[in-house]
Amino acid sequence: MTWELFAVFIGSSLRLAVPLLLAGTGELVSERAGVLNMSIEGMMLTGAFAAAVGAWATGSPPLGLLIGIVAVFPVSLLQAVLSNTLRANQIVTGIGINILVLGATTLAYREIFGARSREEIPGLSKWSPPLLGDIPIFGQAVFQQVWLLYAGLAIIVLTALVLRYTSIGIVIHAAGAEPRAVDKSGVSVAWVRYLGVIFAGFMSALAGAFLSIGDIHTFTEGMTRGAGYLAIAAVIFGKWTVGGTVLACLLFGAATALQFQLPTLGIDVPNAFLIMLPYLLALLAVGGLAGRQTAPRALGEPYFRR
């Protein structure tokens, strides 16, 4: 492999990992707060669709991104109400929301665009950090990325700092580990979990928008194709830590990038296997390949105040 191809592989891996990084960080906060948010897939698809339609209708990708974020809020609020107020089964409600969103976005897409040929949607512009973009070979291939990638990485770093070094992070962790202790301290467990789910929705909206108006500049029916479930698997693989989740997402992104890299190198590997590879790694991770995993003690359990 030449250095040029290696640089392209690194850049592609990073680009393909970004939606997982964003959604995975949101899911991490939600799970640390005690809510297993299975509707990440639906939230990403909602964000992708709304951002694409918003950018197409207004001609402004940043406005499309804002529309995508706003559109996901009702979905995340619905998940929060079902999980915390109605105390419904979090897995069943999450999958139900995913199915609902898939049908709704498919119907809306066909109604809006009809039989017209797929047209390119205005996309977010690319940007490279000063000096890094000037590095020979690697500069343009790795660092010339959509600006949302760098904004997302900044949010992930900020989230990690908040979880580790602030009282907010302590409360979030306690809400998923010892919710009764949080309740006795005078903090509402329900509100902490509400905010965790809503934050997951915000991050999923960014992830979905990156897919549609950041990466390929179009929308296709069901375009997330299981990325939300991969984000959940990344949280498990990463043992509910920000660093571990980031590494897992980068691994999944690299596995996806191999679909395009290996044929370029003339390596004959069945395409179906390459498409399956990220999901196979996710299955092995959930099955215990990453070692012993200890989830937040109250994860998935509705809180009943005595």
Among the ranges given (209-218, 236-245, 260-269), the one the predictor scored with the smallest mean pLDDT = 260-269
Specify the pLDDT at position 140: 85
Greater confidence (272 vs 214) lies with: 214
CB 175 within 8 A of CB 193: yes
How many C-beta neighbours within 10 Å does residue 267 have?
A: 9
pTM: 0.93
CB 202 within 8 A of CB 76: yes
pLDDT tens sequence across 241-298: 999 999 999 989 988 888 877 776 667 777 677 778 777 877 777 766 656 667 899 9
- Closest by CA to 44, choosing from 218, 229, 194, is 229
Residue 24 tokens read as: 């995975």
Spatial neighbors of 28 by CB under 8 A, at least 6 apart, are: 235, 238, 240, 241, 242, 245
Specify the pLDDT at position 71: 97
- Residue 32 CA: distances (Å) to CA of 85, 136, 228, 263, 283: 18, 41, 17, 40, 21
**What span, in angstroms and rounded, lies between the C-alpha atoms of 228 and 222?**
11
CA 303-304-306 angle, 5° bins: 135
Q: What is the average pLDDT score of the chain?
A: 90
Q: Is the pLDDT of residue 49 over 60?
A: yes
Q: If 0-12 CB within 10 Å is exposed, 13-18 middle and 19+ buried, where does residue 54 land? A: buried
pLDDT band with cut points at 50, 70 and 90 for residue 134: confident
Average pLDDT of the residues in 108-116: 81
Domain edges within the chain:
12-224
pLDDT band with cut points at 50, 70 and 90 for residue 136: confident
Helix (H, G, I), strand (E, B) or coil at 126: strand
Q: Is the pLDDT of residue 117 over 60?
A: no
Specify the pLDDT at position 2: 80
**What span, in angstroms and rounded, lies between the C-alpha atoms of 55 and 212?**
10
**What span, in angstroms and rounded, lies between the C-alpha atoms of 102 and 90?**
18
Q: Name the CA radius of gyration of the chain, rounded.
A: 19
pLDDT tens sequence across 78-93: 999 999 999 999 999 9
Q: Is the pLDDT of residue 114 over 90?
A: no
Tell me phi and psi for residue 115, to 5 degrees. Answer: -90, 10
Average pLDDT of the residues in 103-123: 82
